[in-house]
Every structure is written in C-alpha cells, then in structure tokens.
Amino acid sequence: MPQGKGGRGEVGDDDVFGSLGYTIMGKTAELTVVQKTILHTLHKEGKPQTFTAKEAGCLQSAVSKHVNRKLSGREKCGRKRCTTN
C-alpha cells in the first residue's frame, strides 16, 4: 500500500487517483465570454459545429453542449429549487 505524506501508511488523494490512472467524472472547461459570443454568432449564421469549434478554439462537444443547453432556450428540468429559508 502506498504511503502518504505523513509516512505512517496514510493515503493522500493524489496517491489514490494517481496510482489508479484515471479520473472520475472530470469537469469540462468553462467557455469564456468571447468564445460564447463566437458560438452564438456562428450558430445564428447556420455554420456547422466543427467550423464553429475551430473558430472559437474549443471542442465540437463543447459547442454542442452550449448550443443544446444555453441557446435552445429550454428551462431546467427536475425538481424546483427552494428559494426561501
């Protein structure tokens, strides 16, 4: 068993995930305001997602997620959030 930072057999977070060699549910990078503006403009012009991704400097999957979630205008689904205490 790998030893952690203390040298007493403890396992640190970096030791566990580093030794396994994979990431659990990694987060995607956030798009900048400039990238979102480029995506919105090119989407309105009817350009393909691959072209839009190259122009904005991001992945096609990021373009797809942004278009389907943000630009489609649909409301969030699921349980309503409690807004009062």
User: pTM of the prediction?
Assistant: 0.54
The average pLDDT across 15-26 equals 49
Confidence of residue 25 (pLDDT cuts 50, 70, 90): low
Residue 14 clears pLDDT 50, i.e. is over it: no
What distance in Å separates the CA atoms of residue 9 and residue 7, rounded to the nearest whole number? 6
The average pLDDT across 12-28 equals 50
Helix, strand, coil share (%) of the chain residues, nearest 5: 45, 0, 55
